Structure 1
Amino acid sequence: MSFYIGIFFILCFFSFIEGQNLDRRITSYFYFSFCFCFFVLSFIRWETGTDWKNYYEYFFNVRNVVAENDPFEWGFSLLIKTVSFFSDNYSVFLFIAGFLLFAFQSIAIKKLSPYPIVSLLFLWSIQFANILFVRQWIAVAILTYAVIYIQKRKFFPFVLFVILAASFHRSSLLFLGAWWVYNLRISKKKMTIILLGSIGFSVIITKTIEILSGGLGGIIQAKIDLYLNSDYNNETNEDLNLVSIIVKGFANKFLILFISFYLYDKIRDKYPQFQGYLNLYWFGAVIYFSTISISLVFVRFSYAFDFFQIILVPYFFRILENNVLKIIMFILFFVYLFLRMWQILNGPYAEDYIPYKIIF
């Protein structure tokens, strides 16, 4: 556990330095140094991270998997098949997959965030900066990078990156809607009403999926049947404490949204792109609250949008001009992130993270 906490405090120190608006060339050096270190940690790990066993066994059996029965998306499967053809070393796969993830993630955060190290600290606190990545986090990294092309108004490259992300995780296809969501001109009042209304939509969505799932057929129907199965959800909810998850989701999302709404006009006047990031995060919250009572699995559709919390929050500090207030806000921010990280380190999947084991 001290491994994760130690890195957290190192990132806190450099985040605070970055927040003093030092020369961006200096902070960029530290930022990319952290990204490189996290990339290294992502492929020297061993038996650490969720789904380790599933991915590890799949790597060595992928040549025997029939396409019709392949449990993973074609892009992820193709990557593993290609690597396994040239090497039977699983660490080689982690190296290549990790490089793909951190290449997209590092560049995206650098281009989108006003304080990249602060964003990296946030990402470390909620999912250890993806050093323990699964295929969906590769997809999310690609989708985050794709937002650059929304800003440039280049639809074709954006769609290509979404398709690439979907080849790692099917839920990425929903991110096609980000092209329109990012540019929405919607008031804070309407955002709040829709957000609150999304909680009640869960029942309607549940019934709709139950009706439609019978006509989908194939692997999609099989997965929906599994996700809506009461035994499956009861088991999942028991492990993760569904009530606790909903309460934490409310607390975290409404806290960030409340502060975003409060500072909205002040930030948007200086940084117009803030509205786009807020739109994406808000839309993810709508998806989250619309699906959380249906199945924890469907919440995954919100992950790519939810990722933009690490881009939003640094803007809170960017517009602070009072140094004393900025210091106080940083302290509160560090405490908040530490509590979020502490919950993960003591959560139901703690044994997948602790201890952090390396191949050596």
Structure 2
Amino acid sequence: MFLSLLIYFSVVAVLSINWPKTLTHRFVIAGLVAGVLIDGLRIETGTDWLPYYQHFNSFDNASFTDYQNFEIGYQYLVWAIKSMWDNYTFFTVIHAVIIYFGVYYSVFKISNSRPISIVLLYGSLNAMLGSNRQLLALFFLVISIKYLIERRLFVFSTLILCGALFHKTILIFLPFYFVYGLSLQGYTAAFCLLIVSNYVLVQKFSGFMNLLTQSDSGRFSTYFDSSIGNMRPVLALSKKFMVLGGIFILGAKSLRMRLTSIEKEKLMFFAFCASVSIILYIVGLYGLAAFNSRLDIYFGILFVAIIGGKVEALVQNYIRKLLLIVFLIITAFITFSQNPFLDLFIPYKSIFYNVNFIRDLY
């Protein structure tokens, strides 16, 4: 089912080269509705199914004290939905509506209404299916981008803080408000500053971990485990450089000819954010696994999808546009196939389909 949806959006992305925008829009909406049904009606499918399912079913007023595992915003959402109908499928359908129309559709619009952005986003984000809290935080981040660009600090900050009520990792995006609008030299300096600060962070990490594991906060150590054993640095970093490089190389001529000053400002910011994911991945190799696994969803997945759509929209030459779309579709399928937990997704199981299949959940 999930692969079928990726194929559907890929076909729409290719055909959209010749389609009018209204027709493309209709097919995108149809695909998003199908995504809501596929995602929302699933059972025992996706990561972290059990903890979220058990939390929903056992939720009561006493659960509001469980801040260790579930942020207060998520708990209030569970409380509100459960007050309407005590059914976890009802919850997953509402959650799916928020993600598919609040995240996927919003990214589609930000990316000049290009379906290739959904292909890129879905190819990577589908592996996060089941990460209920962080996907809700991602929704707030996507919505906040509009106000960051419009320089509306209060609204932007409010949205990021609301997102933190679902997953605190989103707070790292707050300072990026002040990065937007820098010159190329300014972004280069900011990137170098991040490299230095992360080098210091890694150097101090061993001592910090010793204190952490000796204190009552040892429960947080799972966020800081050494991930070098299950990460493939050469392959992963090569892929990041290849995707970003491929987008800008194939779109270079169109960027020079058609990129307006306002769009250039946006694209430079998005490219800077996507580049930050490279630093985060390297830091993750040295034990701060959450810097890669948790934050890559914001920097390495979201902004690459936006960039892909924006650049593809600028390319007018049919052959170059087709090459760019095919290149990005291939990278999306490669990423999709690299999900280390595919056995939690395939075969698909829903309230109507494959009901009797027994899955080993973990």
Pairwise TM-score range, normalised by the shorter structure: 0.7 to 0.9
RMSD: 3.2
Answer yes or no: is the 8 Å Cα contact 1:19–1:318 preserved in 2.
Answer: no
Task: Determine the C-alpha separation between the residues in 1 that align with 2:272 and 2:54.
Answer: 40
- Residue 286 of structure 1 corresponds to 279
TM-superposed CA distance for 1:47, in Å, is 0.3
Change (3 A) 1:78 1:71: same
Aligned partner of 1:33: which letter?
A: A
Change (3 A) 1:129 1:11: farther
Greater shift, 313-322 or 171-180, is seen at 313-322
Answer yes or no: is the 8 Å Cα contact 1:202–1:291 preserved in 2.
Answer: no
| Equivalent runs, 1:159-198 vs 2, <5 Å | 159-187=157-185, 190=188, 194=192, 198=195
User: Deviation digits for residues 232-278 of structure 1, max 9, x if unmatched?
Assistant: 54xx655xx22x2x223302221233345653655644732212211
TM-superposed CA distance for 1:99, in Å, is 2.5
User: Deviation digits for residues 23-69 of structure 1, max 9, x if unmatched?
Assistant: 22221121222122212222100000000011111112232436155
- Residue 49 of structure 1 corresponds to 46
The correspondence for 1:304, drawn from 275, 293, 298, is: 298
Greater shift, 112-121 or 254-263, is seen at 254-263
The correspondence for 1:351, drawn from 325, 343, 348, is: 343
Q: Give TM-score, length-normalised by structure 1.
A: 0.83
The correspondence for 2:58, drawn from 56, 61, 80, is: 61
- Residue 71 of structure 1 corresponds to 69
TM-superposed CA distance for 1:163, in Å, is 1.0
Q: Quick check: 1:39 aligned with 2:36?
A: yes
- Residue 206 of structure 1 corresponds to 202
Q: Quick check: 1:128 aligned with 2:126?
A: yes
SS of structure 2 residue aligned to 1:45? coil
SS of structure 1 residue aligned to 2:295? helix
Task: Determine the C-alpha separation between the residues in 2 that align with 1:11 and 1:304.
Answer: 22
Percentage of matched positions with identical amino acids: 20
Greater shift, 211-220 or 85-94, is seen at 211-220
The correspondence for 2:244, drawn from 257, 261, 265, is: 257
Greater shift, 203-212 or 143-152, is seen at 203-212
SS of structure 1 residue aligned to 2:338? helix
Task: Determine the C-alpha separation between the residues in 2 that align with 1:213 and 1:296.
Answer: 13
Answer yes or no: is the 8 Å Cα contact 1:59–1:90 preserved in 2.
Answer: yes
- Residue 90 of structure 1 corresponds to 88
Task: Determine the C-alpha separation between the residues in 1 that align with 2:290 and 2:259.
Answer: 34
Q: Give TM-score, length-normalised by structure 2.
A: 0.82
| Equivalent runs, 1:196-235 vs 2, <5 Å | 198=195, 204-211=200-207, 221-228=217-224, 232-233=225-226
Aligned partner of 2:119: which letter?
A: L
The correspondence for 1:150, drawn from 129, 137, 148, is: 148
Change (3 A) 1:171 1:237: same
Aligned partner of 1:247: which letter?
A: V
Unaligned 5+ segments in structure 2 are 353-362
The total of aligned residue pairs comes to 343
Change (3 A) 1:189 1:124: closer
Q: Quick check: 1:320 aligned with 2:305?
A: no
SS of structure 1 residue aligned to 2:112? coil
Change (3 A) 1:133 1:69: closer
Task: Determine the C-alpha separation between the residues in 2 that align with 1:191 and 1:251.
Answer: 23
Answer yes or no: is the 8 Å Cα contact 1:49–1:132 preserved in 2.
Answer: yes
SS of structure 2 residue aligned to 1:354? coil
SS of structure 1 residue aligned to 2:192? helix
